[in-house]
Structure 1
Amino acid sequence: MRNIRSTFAAIILVLLLSVVVLQWGRVTAIYSMFPLLNQEEKHFPTMGTEMKERSGEPITISLLENDSIDSKAAISNIRYALQYAKIPFREIKKEDLSSLEPSPYHILIVAGEHAKEWPYEVIESFVDQGGRLMVALRYGGVKQAWNDLVGIDDANDFIQSTQKGLTFEKSLFPGYPNLSSENALFSHSVLDITLKEEADLYLSVQDHPVMWTFDYGKGKVGYWNTTITKDKEARGLVLQSLSLLPPSFVMHQAGIKVSYLDDFPSPIKEGTVENMGYGQFVKDVWWESVEELRETYDLIYTGALIGTYEDRQRLGAEELIELREFPMVYYGRQILNRGGELALHGYNHQPLVVEEDGIPVDEGHEYVPWKRKSIMKKKLNQTEELFHHYFPDQAFQSYVPPSNILGPTGLDALMESLPSVNVIASLYFGAEEGESFIQEFDFDQSYAGLYHFPRTASGHGDTSEDYFLLTDAIANQGVFSHFIHPDDRTDVDRAKGRSWEEMREGLEGMYRFLSTYYPYLESLTQQEAREKLIAYQQSNIDVRYEKDAITITGEDMLHPSIALVRLNSGQHLETGAFSFGEVEVMPDSSNLYIVTLREPSVTLKMKEEVS
């Protein structure tokens, strides 16, 4: 009897060993298909020279606001736009106006319903003698002298109905599309006015002038007959309108392009997609498409990894490891081997929020709050175990909040459980008072080293609004960060009734658009983009203007650095390759140049146009 038991136990042991060997062989086979290569960390060199006294005049931008909500909002928005483009500015008070020095390179920016408080004679004299004035948010009910100064021939009251859309009468920056009256991106409050014939109109809405320039005396005025200058979505537009006022104007660009594959690897779903199983569609159609786009447009992917798509938190690390084996190894290793990054999207797709955070739930979107922080930390650590099982030499550094929602308790749980995280990538555009986690490009105020790097675009080039937003972010500081999902084709709202081929064509059209208009954007992982943008923001760049030359000098500036140069004086720059770098005309522009700087001190000589 004892021998029978021993024999039976031996047979069971052999069978178990066979299963283990077979399982290990299967895993090893998958691993061998995509061996993990050693990835070299990318660093961004800087260059600089001693900031000595130099000839030429710097740009001076004086910001004047009062205590009104509109004025503060518009001027705050402009501060961000100037900081992102590395353009210096200063804050002034009303009593400082009389001491302003008129100059073609001195721009006074005012905004809001308080023109009656401004000393007309002082500001008129400033412009008449050569200064530049930007009225960054419309005002009404003032004496005609004010209207004459800014190029308004006749002004009635405010138009009662809110105006929608935006039309470009002249190009402000290449790539912006017109927005129809059905588009809800902007809501304008405008004056009913007619312009003087000499005014140069750039933007309108429903045949009402929105933004124009006007020569007055030796100076020049820009005017925004709207309230959209308070909106983050118009920062690039406002910056570009400022560049129209001096004879020449330099704006700096970070030159960054980030491509996210969100909800990655794909959710496990039942059913068919375009006459095949969902898993087969993702592997043989969707993945092949994004790989072709990567090769064609030199993209680098950051995949935002998720543990499970269950709402509940019932799965432990071992179960996650078993469940996610194929997609982690097959897709994850391909991303890493092609120079990409794997970021964290969460244990599951429920945002890190507890009821006590009090975050509102927008209509049509609900989430299940977590019970307490300790559970969040436990599940985040289990997701890290899943990650380390397949990629033991990697660490989570970038985090994408599920549904772009993150509560203060969740942020604490994230940083306490995963201190390696140094980037949170949520949304750049959106309502601050809503449920979404809206960000600026800057360091966190509570956690040292944690950087906020929001995404500026999503989808497959679906609407004119999408193109407008991605263009505006580029027009401000040259950053494009975009995400799509493997299951976009099966999502009714995101697919909008389109086939995958149609969605792919839209996505390729968007990347073709980027490579055509903004070829200086460099494809990077999220971590590389963090490093480059921080280096860009911390650089010190000085620009001096003369009648026929612009001198750009920098300390710790990126090598190479990108500057956009606008000339408004009937002059031009010679294009081509030079010892200091390259100069090229920006596509669809006659007076806007892309200048690539490979030296820390460069003088650009301007040539007179030959008629």
Structure 2
Amino acid sequence: MRRKHFEIITIAIFLLFSSCEVKREKLNFTVDKVEKILFIYDSSDPYAGEIVENTKWAFKYAKLNYDEFDLADYPEVEIENFENYYVIVFATEFIKKISKEDCERIKKFVASGGGLAVIYRGYNENLSDVFGVKLKDRQNLFLKLGKSGFVFNVNFLPMLAGTFIPDSILKDLSMFDFIHFGDKKIIASSSAGVPVAWILRYGLGKVIFWNTSLLSNKLFRGFITQSIASVSDKFVQPVPNFAVIFIDDFPTAVPNVKKKIIWDEFGLTMAEYHFFVFYPDMMKLADEFGLKYTAGLVFNYGADIKPPFHLTEWRTGKAKVFDKEIEVSKTIARQFKLKNELAFHGYNHFSLLIDEWKNIENMKEALKYAQKKWKEEGLGELPITYIPPTNLIDSIGVQALAQSFPSIKVIAGLYSGFFDVGQYREFGREPWNGKFYCIPRVSAGFFIDDYVKTLILSEIAMLGVWTHFVHPDDIIYTPDEVENPELVRNWFYLPWRGKNSEGLYFKFRDWLQKLKENYPFLRFMTCKEACNEMMRFENLKVEYEFMDKAIKIKTNQKNVFLNVQIDFKYKNLEVINAVVLNTVQTASTNLVVLRTTDKYVLLKME
């Protein structure tokens, strides 16, 4: 298998480059120049706060060096020395403040080979030819609200071309009303066909323009990183490179009840479905695609929030195997832990919120009881990862975990949502208690529609990771079973397998297959392993210098994963002290994924 993989990679490289050679040499060099980005924003811009925050996080995750310039201090403070940077980033509508003289300097910077990324719609008439647009009406800047859905026209990221986000999700793209001129590549358009993002050549340099405030949304942060890469002559981004698939509410206190959508397909109760269908099918996917899971165990789905505690619900689900009745949840848990991570989702399914539990002592007693029963049920070592029920936890709940569940090191909440209920987390230390590390989840569900796909690709572009969760009962959460539309997980009443492979299982399998084809280097691992990789990544130091036809890279670790993007003008590539894992062409760069074999790496190009 390894030999076949290498042959495929080699062929792909030659499709992108006239020649590519991989070598190993003993190197020892210094990096004399710090490659930097100039980040221009305006702290007085009342609408640009989120894009500024998102950009700084994008810089942090990609380990990009940058200097800031706040236009609120302009022109009293001057913008100096554009030549010290390889890309300029605009993240404010107030770029109209920039003087004609400084605009001429920016134009010269780009024409000489620099990059310009406009990641938040703005306009300056002195940069019109650089942007490739001019205002239609100076008095009425904004395009009248119409169809605002979103379609990607090209592979700005691998797998992205043709991806469509409907008007129902993106209601207002907040676009200026522009007249377009000159040659450009349209990256994305609205439902009405109006260009939303485009890239163009200006002299020897490149410009990308997002005529929208869309990238202010944290979920689209990866597009900030890729925007910078797309206009760079050379670009280096270290990544931890992992994927984690969580199975929430599994194993759980599953009842012996009949649910129509499952009974109609299999003639099984919920407990039997868990044991005979869902669990084997998920293991089959793991074997086929090299997956590892992190599953969130719940002892009692309902149960009490005050002592005495019990395991009555946990023992309810039964199935017959060779005429012997078994406890479904415990049997699955004992098998599952042998190859995967068994995480803790709760003694019951009540979120650790003080409003639900009334006092912290009840929380702590339930957590202690769960640890005792974990050992008695033969579930192995106490869990490392905690997955908050309903993705909610408050600061009191975090305190209860810290005080009464010493084995827990990781909290896997949500990447988006609301901060005060334990959501809207970043990869890193839990802000309420640094004892815990956060591995937030970005996407969910077995059916990956284009919107979810976009979020996944954004996460991979941002940090080189994918964090996703599913539930065994996703299938039964149909519109007629759930009153709250936000809780629907199976909008189209899809079966699990289906007569013609149209079910949720095969939808997810198809997605995994496409992801593997486009991101074959992505490493699937447990949340515990991902936490270790993230902490290693935090300690990674990367220095690089862009030479005329080379990139010098120096790290403090070996086996570092790097996303390197190189402009199309380079035809030959020589890689020294790194293994090429994948190559692909984006809208304006050749993207090469490397794993270093030494602390000194040299890339030569012609």
Q: CA separation in 1, counterparts of 2:383 and 2:410?
A: 10
Post-superposition shift, 1:569?
A: 4.4
Query: Deviation digits for residues 467-486 of structure 1, max 9, x if unmatched?
Result: 11111101111111111112
Pairing partner for 1:58 from 35, 38, 56: 35
Give the SS at the match of 1:147: helix
Q: CA separation in 2, counterparts of 1:250 and 1:315?
A: 57
State the AA in 2 paired with 1:106: Y
State the AA in 1 paired with 2:299: G
Alignment of 1:358-377 (within 5 A): 369-377=356-364
Partner residue, 1:281: 273
Q: CA separation in 1, counterparts of 2:364 and 2:358?
A: 12
Partner residue, 1:406: 393
Partner residue, 1:582: 580
Give the SS at the match of 2:144: coil
Name the % identity.
23
State the AA in 2 paired with 1:564: N
Partner residue, 2:485: none
Q: CA separation in 2, counterparts of 1:587 and 1:395?
A: 45
Alignment of 1:55-94 (within 5 A): 58-94=35-71
Q: CA separation in 1, counterparts of 2:311 and 2:581?
A: 56
Partner residue, 1:495: 490
Pairing partner for 2:121 from 110, 116, 138: 138
Pairing partner for 1:150 from 131, 146, 151: 131
- Aligned 8 A contact 1:84 1:476 in 2: yes
- Aligned 8 A contact 2:301 2:313 in 1: no
Q: CA separation in 1, counterparts of 2:547 and 2:61?
A: 24
- Provide the TM-score with structure 1 as the length reference: 0.82
Post-superposition shift, 1:100?
A: 2.3
Which structure 1 segments of 5+ residues have no match?
1-48, 356-368
Give the SS at the match of 2:169: coil
Alignment of 1:82-231 (within 5 A): 82-94=59-71, 95=74, 97-102=78-83, 105-129=85-109, 130=112, 131-139=114-122, 142=124, 144-156=125-137, 157-161=141-145, 164-176=148-160, 178-185=163-170, 187-205=172-190, 206-217=192-203, 219-231=205-217
The structure that has the greater radius of gyration is 1
- The answer to whether 1:302 aligns with 2:294 is yes
- The answer to whether 1:266 aligns with 2:252 is yes
- The answer to whether 1:462 aligns with 2:442 is no
Q: CA separation in 1, counterparts of 2:464 and 2:599?
A: 20
State the AA in 2 paired with 1:430: G
Greater mean deviation of Cα atoms: 75-84 or 115-124: 115-124
Post-superposition shift, 1:319?
A: 5.0
CA shift in 2, pair 1:66/1:531, >3 Å: same
CA shift in 2, pair 1:118/1:292, >3 Å: same
Alignment of 1:560-579 (within 5 A): 560-574=559-573, 579=577
Q: CA separation in 2, counterparts of 1:257 and 1:343?
A: 16
State the AA in 2 paired with 1:287: Y
Greater mean deviation of Cα atoms: 395-404 or 382-391: 382-391
State the AA in 2 paired with 1:198: D
Query: Deviation digits for residues 85-144 of structure 1, max 9, x if unmatched?
Result: 2212222234554312326x522222223223223321331331434332221125x5x3
Post-superposition shift, 1:393?
A: 5.0
Post-superposition shift, 1:289?
A: 0.5
- Aligned 8 A contact 2:116 2:207 in 1: yes
Post-superposition shift, 1:436?
A: 6.6
Q: CA separation in 1, counterparts of 2:377 and 2:572?
A: 53
Q: CA separation in 1, counterparts of 2:225 and 2:115?
A: 14
Greater mean deviation of Cα atoms: 55-64 or 77-86: 55-64
State the AA in 2 paired with 1:278: M
Greater mean deviation of Cα atoms: 280-289 or 61-70: 61-70
Q: CA separation in 1, counterparts of 2:514 and 2:81?
A: 43
Alignment of 1:11-30 (within 5 A): none
State the AA in 1 paired with 2:105: S
Q: CA separation in 2, counterparts of 1:515 and 1:113?
A: 39
- Aligned 8 A contact 2:278 2:472 in 1: yes
State the AA in 1 paired with 2:346: G
Q: CA separation in 2, counterparts of 1:573 and 1:398?
A: 46
State the AA in 2 paired with 1:245: V
Post-superposition shift, 1:60?
A: 3.1
- Aligned 8 A contact 2:240 2:537 in 1: yes
CA shift in 2, pair 1:312/1:220, >3 Å: same
Partner residue, 2:351: 351
Alignment of 1:316-335 (within 5 A): 316-317=309-310, 319=312, 326-335=327-336
State the AA in 1 paired with 2:173: H
Query: Deviation digits for residues 497-544 of structure 1, max 9, x if unmatched?
Result: 011011100111121122111112112111110010111122100121
CA shift in 2, pair 1:531/1:120, >3 Å: farther
Give the SS at the match of 2:408: coil
CA shift in 2, pair 1:564/1:514, >3 Å: same
